[in-house]
């Protein structure tokens, strides 16, 4: 299914809700979004990788001519510029001639991991690969210390070239000049001697070991190629698995995607890549579809929800078993406890009355004690406030006395410059200005329009309105008003000076302390009464036969516990009553519907393309020497059943030679079909190691080379890199610039 309508989130949610038989589209949308099960609205354009240069150098550690001869250390340096299209590395009949090592170094730079043989990895001192990723020039440069990589990834300016011939010569010269008795160690600073990083290059990643190398190059590749992580469900190891639903969801990144570029080990029964569990996602590198990501994610999330539901079921089973276990023993224990209780003397009414009275007295005592405590705390707090108020009143009074003293002085000269204060300046004080600095003395009186009588009015106002009030006056004001903020109150704070306000606070706090003192007195009386009542109840209770009552009470509690445990084990609760189980079941129903729908649409998108690819795989397989091949059908799950000599076979049942030839045929066919249909997302780099080694005659090997060369020419920006020991055929079949062959009897480096 295709079309813009089907690719909107809203239409996808509606379709999944309909498939799941649910009316609540909000519930469906929440489940799909939280689990990441959404179609890809727009497929990214194909972004390519091409290897421009490979360089590596080191010191071979070889056995001497005889067993007693000293070991031979032989420096080497290898540099090669790869041509567009197909590039081949070969030897003339030598299988361990270094051709595969070149491919492994390239793969090391591309993937952050390598299958280099341990001896070659120990020989290496440094390596570098220049490549172009999505149009951006990159340089991957690393030293090799104790077989571990240590280096960085650089983004190179487009207009600057590296002198690789100079790098090759400098590497070999320095290694040759070294102490041949000891392996040469190359420091990071020395690395620039062999591989100078151009000015303007920007470091975009670094690493100190193999694990960091894989992470660093993976981040660079995933971002530049526009790839999303692959969600995959993995089962727990069998020895640690409780049932088949145990596992976890993990995300696969560049190490998985990069398998689409490698054709190496024919012993693996996987048509694409190296792992069967991700082969279906690798198919999307060749035949992209909007539904691939949703189908893969839904498959993983459904398995995760199955595991969650399995946990619920195991827990429910365990709970039910625990309830059922020992029901008979519990029933017998309940019967015995009832019989023991019946043999005890009956509980008297007197004891019940005493017990009830004791409970009431204890409650009354607790309430009285709490009230007394709260009264004591409130009084203590009020006393502290009163003390603070009195201190404030004293401080303000002292400040007022000091201020009156200074204001009563009449300065005759300026304290700064000794200038005399004349009569004119004294007259300015009648206008409310300071005779020294002309500052406002704030002597304005509301309602006075002229300034003639400012002094007398001000003095009268201060004497009668702003003067400190006596306690009697303040108390009279308090008695005539409920509060300072009461409407219509005769007490106006604006008519009181600071000292009077402080005295007013002290009067109010004093009244509050007196009130709280009276309240505490009442609380003390109530407490004493409750204490007396509790003592009386305790005395009465002590006269009852406490031992017998306690024995009966303990027996009743023991019976109640046994009966409660028996009722719990007899309870028949179902797992469906668990809200978490119901929620997970509903979520699984939605994700299952989404998975089915996404797989159907992915299959529909790919059906015609897979049929075309299957036809080409069959034709190519015959040309590459798969004897009696009648048909090969590539399916959406990447299975490849074939018919040979009238008998149907699985891909895994074929010989290793037939597998590697069909792997090449599958890659070539998918590249052609995907490119012609405009849905290919493959990065355009194929690496084939030791082509022709698996039961392939020379004519078939030549046909395979020609097919790879043709497809590299047909598909824009496709690069194919192969290695083979059939150097002579490589030279005869391919163009001169596409081949690098070792001399007769010699190794490639």
CATH class held by domain 49-309+584-741: alpha beta
Taking only the tens place, the pLDDT of each residue in 292-323 is 888 888 988 888 888 888 888 877 777 767 66
Q: Which three-class secondary structure state does DSSP give residue 275?
A: coil
Determine contact, residues 667/263, Cβ cutoff 8 Å: yes
The residues, any chain, with a CB within 8 Å of residue 522's CB and separated by 6 or more, are none
Give the residue with greater pLDDT, 266 vs 512: 512
Taking only the tens place, the pLDDT of each residue in 601-620 is 988 888 999 999 999 999 98
Q: For residues 368 and 530, what is the distance between their CA atoms, to the nearest angstrom?
A: 7
Cβ neighbour number for residue 530 with a 10 Å cutoff:
21
Q: Which two tokens stand for residue 176?
A: 């040759």
Using a pLDDT cut of 70, give the percent of the chain over it: 81
pLDDT mean over 730-748: 87
- What integer pLDDT is reported at residue 478 of this predicted model? 67
Poorest-pLDDT segment among 93-102, 222-231, 341-350, 625-634: 341-350
Q: What is the DSSP letter of 259?
A: G
pLDDT mean over 390-394: 85
Q: For residues 502 and 24, what is the distance between their CA atoms, to the nearest angstrom?
A: 68
Q: Which three-class secondary structure state does DSSP give residue 265?
A: coil
Using a pLDDT cut of 90, give the percent of the chain over it: 28
> What are the Cα distances from residue 67, in Å, to 70, 72, 73, 119?
8, 12, 15, 19
Q: For residues 106 and 723, what is the distance between their CA atoms, to the nearest angstrom?
A: 12
The answer, yes or no, to whether residue 3 has pLDDT greater than 70, is no
Poorest-pLDDT segment among 36-45, 130-139, 405-414, 623-632: 405-414
Determine contact, residues 131/110, Cβ cutoff 8 Å: yes
Determine contact, residues 490/481, Cβ cutoff 8 Å: yes
- What integer pLDDT is reported at residue 79 of this predicted model? 96
Q: What is the mean pLDDT of the chain?
A: 81
The residues, any chain, with a CB within 8 Å of residue 55's CB and separated by 6 or more, are 77, 78, 79, 80, 127, 128, 129, 164, 167, 168, 171, 195
The answer, yes or no, to whether residue 490 has pLDDT greater than 70, is no
Q: For residues 165 and 219, what is the distance between their CA atoms, to the nearest angstrom?
A: 30
Indicate the pairing of strand 719-724 with strand 685-688. parallel
- What integer pLDDT is reported at residue 447 of this predicted model? 35
The answer, yes or no, to whether residue 377 has pLDDT greater than 50, is yes
- What integer pLDDT is reported at residue 446 of this predicted model? 34
- Residue 87 confidence class, pLDDT cut points 50, 70, 90: very high
Question: What is the C-alpha end-to-end distance of the chain, expressed in Å?
Answer: 53
Q: Which two tokens stand for residue 359?
A: 């409970």
- What integer pLDDT is reported at residue 456 of this predicted model? 41
Verdict on whether the full-model pTM lies above 0.75 = no
The per-type count for the chain, helices as H runs and strands as E runs, is 21, 16
Q: For residues 369 and 524, what is the distance between their CA atoms, to the nearest angstrom?
A: 9
Closest CA to 390 of 491, 519, 513: 513
Taking only the tens place, the pLDDT of each residue in 415-431 is 778 778 787 877 777 77
Give the CA angle between residues 17, 22, 27 to the nearest 5°.
75
Determine contact, residues 569/328, Cβ cutoff 8 Å: no
- What integer pLDDT is reported at residue 178 of this predicted model? 63
Determine contact, residues 202/220, Cβ cutoff 8 Å: no
Poorest-pLDDT segment among 227-236, 477-486, 568-577, 674-683: 477-486
Cβ neighbour number for residue 304 with a 10 Å cutoff:
19
- Residue 692 confidence class, pLDDT cut points 50, 70, 90: low
pLDDT mean over 735-743: 88
Indicate the pairing of strand 739-741 with strand 629-632. unpaired
pLDDT mean over 473-480: 70
Q: For residues 729 and 736, what is the distance between their CA atoms, to the nearest angstrom?
A: 12
Taking only the tens place, the pLDDT of each residue in 510-526 is 888 999 999 999 999 99
Q: For residues 48 and 131, what is the distance between their CA atoms, to the nearest angstrom?
A: 10
pLDDT mean over 490-504: 72
Name the strand (E) or helix (H) holding 164: helix 164-177
Q: For residues 529 and 376, what is the distance between their CA atoms, to the nearest angstrom?
A: 18
Closest CA to 55 of 158, 155, 151, 135: 151
- Residue 413 confidence class, pLDDT cut points 50, 70, 90: confident
Q: For residues 669 and 665, what is the distance between their CA atoms, to the nearest angstrom?
A: 6
The answer, yes or no, to whether residue 714 has pLDDT greater than 80, is yes
- Residue 459 confidence class, pLDDT cut points 50, 70, 90: very low
pLDDT mean over 632-648: 92
Q: What is the DSSP letter of 398?
A: H
Maximal CA-CA distance, the chain: 135
Name the strand (E) or helix (H) holding 601: helix 579-623
Poorest-pLDDT segment among 183-197, 225-239, 479-493: 183-197
Give the CA angle between residues 120, 274, 253 to the nearest 5°.
95
Q: For residues 376 and 516, what is the distance between their CA atoms, to the nearest angstrom?
A: 8
Q: For residues 100 and 95, what is the distance between their CA atoms, to the nearest angstrom?
A: 9
- What integer pLDDT is reported at residue 720 of this predicted model? 92
- What integer pLDDT is reported at residue 63 of this predicted model? 84
Q: Which two tokens stand for residue 308?
A: 């969650």
């Amino acid at each position: 299914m295709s079309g813009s309508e089907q690719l909107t989130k809203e239409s996808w949610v509606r379709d999944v809700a309909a498939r799941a038989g649910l009316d609540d589209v909000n519930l469906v949308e929440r489940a799909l979004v939280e689990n990441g099960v959404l179609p890809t609205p727009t497929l990214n354009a194909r972004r390519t990788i091409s290897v421009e240069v490979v360089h590596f150098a080191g010191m071979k550690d070889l056995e001497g001519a005889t067993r007693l001869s000293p070991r031979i250390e032989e420096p080497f340096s290898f540099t090669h510029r790869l041509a567009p299209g197909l590039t081949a590395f070969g030897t003339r009949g030598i299988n361990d001639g270094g051709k595969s090592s070149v491919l492994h170094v390239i793969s090391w730079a591309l993937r952050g991991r390598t299958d280099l043989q341990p001896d070659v990895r120990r020989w290496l001192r440094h390596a570098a690969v220049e490549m172009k990723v999505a149009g951006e020039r990159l340089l991957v440069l690393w030293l090799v210390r104790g077989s571990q990589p240590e280096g960085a990834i650089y983004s190179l300016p487009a207009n600057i070239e590296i002198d690789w011939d100079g790098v090759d010569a400098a590497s070999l010269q320095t290694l040759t000049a070294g102490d041949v008795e000891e392996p040469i160690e190359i420091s990071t600073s020395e690395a620039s001697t062999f591989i100078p990083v151009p000015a303007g290059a920007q470091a975009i990643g670094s690493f100190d070991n193999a694990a960091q190398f894989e992470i660093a190059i993976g981040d660079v590749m995933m971002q530049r190629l526009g790839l999303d992580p692959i969600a995959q469900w993995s089962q727990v190891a069998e020895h640690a698995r409780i049932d088949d639903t145990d596992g976890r969801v993990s995300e696969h990144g560049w190490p998985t995607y990069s398998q689409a570029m490698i054709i190496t080990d024919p012993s693996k029964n996987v048509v694409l890549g190296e792992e069967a569990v991700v082969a279906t996602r690798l198919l999307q590198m060749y035949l992209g579809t909007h539904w691939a990501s949703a189908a893969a994610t839904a498959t993983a999330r459904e398995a995760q929800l199955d595991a969650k539901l399995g946990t619920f079921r195991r827990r429910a089973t365990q709970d039910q078993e625990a309830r059922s276990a020992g029901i008979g023993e519990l029933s017998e224990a309940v019967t015995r406890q009832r019989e023991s209780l019946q043999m005890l003397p009956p509980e008297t009414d007197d004891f019940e009355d005493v017990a009830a009275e004791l409970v009431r007295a204890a409650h009354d005592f607790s309430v009285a004690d709490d009230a007394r405590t709260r009264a004591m705390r409130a009084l203590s707090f009020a006393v502290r406030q009163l003390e603070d108020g009195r201190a404030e009143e004293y401080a303000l009074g002292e400040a007022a006395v000091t201020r009156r003293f200074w204001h009563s002085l009449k300065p005759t000269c300026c304290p700064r410059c000794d200038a005399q204060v004349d009569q004119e300046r004294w007259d300015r004080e009648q206008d409310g200005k300071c005779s020294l600095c002309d500052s406002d003395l704030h002597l304005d009186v509301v309602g006075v329009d002229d300034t003639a009588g400012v002094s007398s009015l001000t003095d009268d106002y201060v004497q009668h309105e702003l003067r400190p009030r006596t306690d009697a006056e303040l108390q009279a004001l308090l008695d005539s008003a409920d509060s300072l903020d009461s409407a219509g109150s005769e007490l106006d704070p604006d008519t009181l000076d600071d000292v009077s306000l402080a005295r007013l606070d002290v009067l109010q706090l004093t009244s509050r302390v007196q009130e709280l003192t009276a309240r505490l007195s009442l609380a003390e009386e109530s407490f004493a009464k409750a204490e007396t009542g509790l003592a009386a109840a305790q005395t009465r209770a002590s006269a009852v036969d406490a031992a017998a009552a306690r024995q009966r009470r303990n027996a009743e509690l023991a019976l109640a516990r046994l009966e409660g445990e028996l009722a719990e084990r007899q309870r028949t609760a179902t797992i469906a009553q668990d809200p978490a189980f119901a929620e997970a079941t509903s979520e699984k129903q939605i994700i299952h519907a989404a998975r089915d729908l996404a797989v159907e649409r992915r299959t529909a998108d790919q059906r015609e393309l897979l049929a075309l690819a299957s036809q080409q795989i069959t034709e190519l397989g015959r040309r590459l020497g798969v004897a009696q091949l009648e048909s090969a059908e590539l399916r959406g799950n990447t299975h490849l059943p074939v018919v040979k000599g009238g008998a149907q076979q699985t891909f895994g049942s074929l010989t290793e030679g037939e597998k590697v030839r069909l792997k090449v045929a599958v890659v070539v066919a998918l590249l052609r079909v995907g490119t012609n249909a405009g849905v290919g997302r493959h990065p355009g780099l194929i690496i084939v190691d030791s082509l022709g080694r698996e039961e392939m005659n020379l004519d078939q090997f030549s046909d395979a080379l020609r097919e790879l060369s043709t497809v590299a020419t047909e598909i824009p920006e496709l690069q194919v890199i192969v290695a083979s020991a059939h150097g002579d055929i490589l030279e005869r079949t391919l163009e001169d610039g596409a081949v690098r062959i070792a001399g007769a009897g010699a190794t490639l480096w």
